[in-house]
Amino acid sequence: MIRCVSCGQVYNDNDIVYRCECGSILEAVINVDVKKEVFSSRKNTMWKYKEFIPVDENKIVTLQEGATPFCKCDKLGKELGINLHVKVEGSNPTGSFKDRGMSVGMTKAIMLGVDAVGCASTGNTSASLAAYAARGGLKSIVLLPAGNVALGKLAQAMFHGAEVLSVDGNFDEALEMITKLAREKYLYLLNSINPFRLEGQKTIGFEILEDLGWQSPDRIILPVGNAGNISAIWKGIKEFYNAGYVENKPMMTGIQAEGSAPITHAFRKKSKSITPVENPETIATAIRIGDPVSYTKALNAIYDSNGYSETVSDDEILNAQKLLARTEGIGVEPASAASIAGLKKLVEDGTIEKGENIVCVVTGHLLKDPDTAIKASKEPTKIGASYDELKAYIQK
């Protein structure tokens, strides 16, 4: 069943609803009774946790998402005085964690018998939607904010055959437009307001707990844009905790870009509601969102877990992106680096204690945004096709 997170109103799994009548957002409620030992005998994708994912397992639309690398980062951890693991979501089929949610969302679309799906996107949702719609054999339409989508993401959305529309406006405006189209039943909406998307994304939380040998880290840090992912991971953690698989839960720590930080602003006031940011700005286009749909769930996740929220500047993001790439070999897009930038800031101001066990979720691959990577790098040095010239250069 589907339930309103604010008033508790219940809806049927097959109702196509995106919001409760009270205006708040919905979540899927599941009922599971399974021993954790069954998971290890299965093929290693996020679908090994299928009992926790409320769709028909005979209709799954999958590109074998999930089971992403969980890298221990001793050099960076030592520098910061903590124990650090990085969950590398850029290793999903289209290069971001959005694939987990899209696999479940597209499966739901097939179960409902719709013929078209759509989303508004800062880039990665559209890349994922286009690929999974192709896989599921559905038409897809995506709205992108003109001029603010990284090149790799745009290439993916177009190449997988989505109908791509560039909106002269920001993400929040594009989302409002496509939501209206969905409410009038022209398409099935696969933005993260769709509760089934989060049922896929919560498997990041499942994997972290299993990766750590059925232990909880002290803290999970991740970038926050539309706030679906932090909500989803917390839901997954709570489900495994309630199932008795682990004895503790992590502090959920959401990082936002300074120019686009309604959740952090609310957190600082200990508020349960947000004031939307009118013209969100940041180089991290994936989190350039002023009016996050899942703010209620995200703030609940932060408060209920005794977590935290902080902002980072674009410079801090770019420095962290480079730091992670050069000390650990992990290449991520700018938004993803917000988690590392936030980690650094919170260690420096003492919010994070020495010796904490920390997992940073890095959400998308470096190649999603090649322009930013090239701009931040030294250009290749030009030499002739001559060994002497090469040797002279190396000896310099």
Ligand X SMILES: *Cc1c(COP(=O)(O)O)cnc(C)c1O
What residues are designated binding site for pyridoxal 5'-phosphate? 124, 225-229, 363
Q: If contact means CB under 5 to 8 A according to the sort of partner, which of Zn ion, ligand X, none does residue 324 touch?
A: none
List CB contacts of 142: < 8 A, sequence separation 6 or more.
118, 119, 120, 121, 125, 126, 129, 130, 157, 162, 163, 164, 165
Q: Which residues is 118 bridged to in the sheet?
A: 141, 189
Stretch that binds ligand X, among 71-79, 161-169, 207-215, 217-225 (CB under 6 A): 217-225
Q: Answer yes or no whether residue 229 interacts with ligand X by CB under 6 A.
A: yes
Q: How many residues bind Zn ion (CB under 5 A)?
A: 7
Residue 110 interacting entry, from ligand X, Zn ion, none, C-beta within 5 to 8 Å by type = none
Q: For helices 203-211 and 228-242, give the axis angle rounded to 10 degrees.
A: 50
User: For ligand X, which stretch binds (CB under 6 A), given 70-78, 209-217, 332-340, 369-377?
Assistant: 332-340
260-299 residues in contact with ligand X (CB under 6 A) are: 286-287
What does the alpha-carbon distance between residue 43 and residue 26 come to, in Å, rounded to a whole number? 31
- Nearest residue to the partner ligand X, using Cβ: 364
* 377 Cβ neighbours under 8 A, 6+ residues apart: none
Q: Shortest gap between Cβ of 286 and ligand X (angstroms)?
A: 4
Of 119, 143, 137, whose CA–CA distance to 129 is shortest?
119
Q: In what order do the strands lie in the sheet with 26-28?
A: 10-11, 2-4, 26-28
Which residue of 54, 66, 105, 228 would you call a contact of ligand X, by CB under 6 A?
228
Q: Is 321 in the site for ligand X (CB under 6 A)?
A: no
Q: Using CB distances below 5 to 8 A depending on partner kind, what does residue 316 bind out of Zn ion, ligand X, none?
A: none
Please name the helix (run of DSSP H) or strand (run of DSSP E) that holds residue 117, with its range, or none: strand 116-120
> Is 221 a binder of ligand X (CB under 6 A)?
no
First-to-final CA distance of the chain = 68
Angle, helices 334-348/314-328, rounded to nearest 10 degrees: 90
Mask of contacts with Zn ion, 17-56, x by CB under 5 A?
Answer: ---x-x-x--------------------------------
Q: How far is the CB of 283 from ligand X (least distance, A)?
A: 13
Q: What string marks each residue from 177 to 196 as x (binds ligand X by CB under 6 A) or -?
A: ---------------x----
For the CB of residue 147, give the shortest distance to ligand X in the complex, in Å.
Answer: 18
CB atoms within 10 A of CB 35: 9
Answer yes or no whether residue 4 interacts with Zn ion by CB under 5 A: yes
Q: Tell me the C-alpha distance between 274 and 276, whole Å.
A: 6
What are the φ/ψ torsions at residue 303 (nearest 5 degrees)? -70, -45
- Give the C-alpha separation, 287 to 277, whole Å: 12
Burial class (CB in 10 A: 0-12, 13-18, 19+), 265: middle
Asked whether the beta carbons of 282 and 314 are under 8 A apart, the reply is: yes
Closest contact distance (angstroms) between CB of 250 and ligand X is 17
For residues 284, 286, 288, 289, the Cα torsion angle rounded to the nearest 10 degrees is -160
- Total binding residues for ligand X by CB under 6 A? 18
- 392 token code pair: 């002279």
Stretch that binds ligand X, among 74-82, 102-110, 158-166, 223-231 (CB under 6 A): 223-231
- Out of 136, 225, 250, 331, name the contact with ligand X by CB under 6 A: 225
Nearer to ligand X, 39 or 219 (CB): 219
Which residues of the shown chain bind ligand X in the complex (CB under 6 A)?
Answer: 96, 98, 124, 192, 223-229, 286-287, 333, 335-336, 363-364
> Which residues of the chain form contacts with Zn ion (CB under 5 A)?
4, 6-7, 9, 20, 22, 24
